[in-house]
Amino acid sequence: MILPLLLAAAVAAPGPADTRSAEARFNACTRLSDSDPAAAQKEAIAWAKTGGGVAAAQCLGIARSTAGDWKGAVDAFTTAATLADQTHEPVAAANMWVSAGNAALAGGDFAKAREALSTAIASPVLPDTLKGEAYLDRARAAVGAGDAASARPDLDQAVKLVPDDPMAWLLSATLARRLSDTTRAKADINEAMLKAPNQSDILFEAGNIAATAGDMDDARAQWTRAVSAEPGSDGSNRAKAELAATGGSTPAPAAKPKPRPQGR
């Protein structure tokens, strides 16, 4: 019921005038979402009731995302996209469909994420960079839904459109490993490592691929690098667990240098 209520609010009769420009009000609303997302949601809803349209719905989506209300964020971004379609703003509509897809993905609603991202990808005005990221996120949603077959062509498009994004190469490598395509996995993880040589999750996956290929020495070497690269990160912690499980040793913390004696 949230979507139709917001749509109705966005075209309701104007209330008390706000002298700020739409851009200034949007910027203020999004800044508020960082410090007080509940207050930002109230502001966005009040703005929608006075004709805030796409911008008000977008701010509501941002505030709900900040608060971790992913379903509510999907509803708000969908409202923004629908309003943008109705007011013939195709670029804004495509962007809002991407935002709706991202929120659905974050909330684990993979079907809704694929639907929203497919709508964004179909837009002829979505820039290639955003389209590449949309393909990447739709592939993540496909994997989450257990549909690896659909993820492969989406990741192929992602690495073509956003070749400098290490995450695209990482996910492509991971999927290739899971599909037992070791040659593709090695090639893609090498690309990811070129783009981000000290990212723990990439180094962790490099170790996984080496292990799958039977090269445990290289696997442990990559996991060891992952532990040291970003201590405390998810990739580092998972690499530490693999080292423990395979009999490897984790690197000791680097010793703090002793202060140099000062001359008199």
pLDDT of 115 above 70: yes
pLDDT of 171 above 90: yes
| The domain over range 1-14+22-126 is classified in CATH as 1.10.8.10 | no
Per-residue confidence (pLDDT) for residue 173, from 0 to 100 = 98
For 136-162, the pLDDT digits (tens) are 999 999 999 999 999 999 999 999 999
Per-residue confidence (pLDDT) for residue 20, from 0 to 100 = 72
- Which one has a higher pLDDT value, 19 or 54? 54
CA distance 164 to 160: 9
Mean pLDDT of 49-73: 97
Q: Do 222 and 206 meet the contact criterion of CB atoms below 8 Å apart?
A: yes
CA distance 246 to 62: 43
Band (21; pLDDT cuts 50, 70, 90): confident
Mean pLDDT of 224-242: 95
Its pTM stands at 0.83
